[in-house]
Structure 1
């Protein structure tokens, strides 16, 4: 399928406007599912995150990526784990308050130059990035970034079309 990108952005270079872009129809060509992110609600107290990480380690599940946002009384730990099915079962069993969402994990072979290209591609597709954070591991030997976006299907398709490698849960699991 062929798409046309039309730009009316003030900062978009004229050469990038109205150019044809070949994008895959879906991300179904990916090997494995998109990556699951757990948002764990923690009290804002010393040791709360340690308890969660230790809980995961007791079940031989590894934290692959971690980001924490805090407020006065609580914190949200965003966690990508090596075995999301096991994590979900464990959190339910132990009554850990959490939410689950999909994130797009992108391999960055050259962080300095590719990050700009990645973000520009998402802007051109009008995909909003809610938040992003790096992985703690280097799948396939390269840096990777997790992106929580408003449209994972569109973001994945656009980035694949721009030559980025989208990592699946299988790529980051041990």
Structure 2
């Protein structure tokens, strides 16, 4: 396990395998820069046809000259290869995926837990899959380690990359 400069044990807080594609407790989002033209999104999505990669979630932000596509894929390693072969500019980020509780205001429950831990929510969107008939959301936060601990402590089910592949 890694030790910090003052001897703190970084692996003691959360027990997980750190290799990607294993039970790493985050999921990957790819931000893809697309030309702002008709058919650009369709052309990108067609690249996944015939592969085992499924699109689990996507979000588009449009600007005058380009669009930012944020995408979560069932098999991120293979998905990255497809995106790189296409010559696209991409940024890879870690997000947390959670099952929403069966309450009247589940996002309020999430936001309240994060607020108490002083964790800022930067992005969120719904995945196009469910787990145990519950909605799954992706969260980008400013302190991923604190958010994972807080959400797990408050009873939210965290979803790993392996689980995401199984849902896809």
Query: Which category describes the TM-score, using the shorter chain as reference length?
Result: 0.7 to 0.9
Selected match of 2:34 from 30, 42, 52: 42
TM-score by length of 1: 0.80
> What CA RMSD, in Å, does the superposition of the two structures yield over aligned residues?
2.0
Change (3 A) 1:39 1:52: same
How many residues align? The count is 151
Q: Does 1:119 align with 2:107?
A: no
Q: Does 1:165 align with 2:157?
A: yes
* Other-structure match for 2:23: 32
Q: Does 1:97 align with 2:75?
A: no
Selected match of 2:123 from 114, 118, 131: 131
User: 1 or 2, which has the higher helix percentage?
Assistant: 1
TM-score by length of 2: 0.83
Change (3 A) 1:112 1:75: farther
Q: Is the 8 A contact 2:101 2:156 kept in 1?
A: no
Question: Can you give the 5+ residue segments of structure 2 that lack an aligned partner in the other structure?
Answer: 1-11
Q: Is the 8 A contact 2:59 2:125 kept in 1?
A: yes
Partner Cα separation in structure 1 for residue 13 and residue 147 of structure 2: 12
Which runs of at least 4 in structure 1 moved beyond 4 Å after TM superposition? none
* Other-structure match for 2:48: 56
Q: Which of the pair has more CA radius of gyration?
A: 1
Q: CA deviation at 1:45?
A: 1.2
Q: CA deviation at 1:111?
A: 5.7
* Other-structure match for 2:133: 141
Question: Can you give the 5+ residue segments of structure 1 that lack an aligned partner in the other structure?
Answer: 1-23
Q: Is the 8 A contact 1:63 1:81 kept in 2?
A: yes
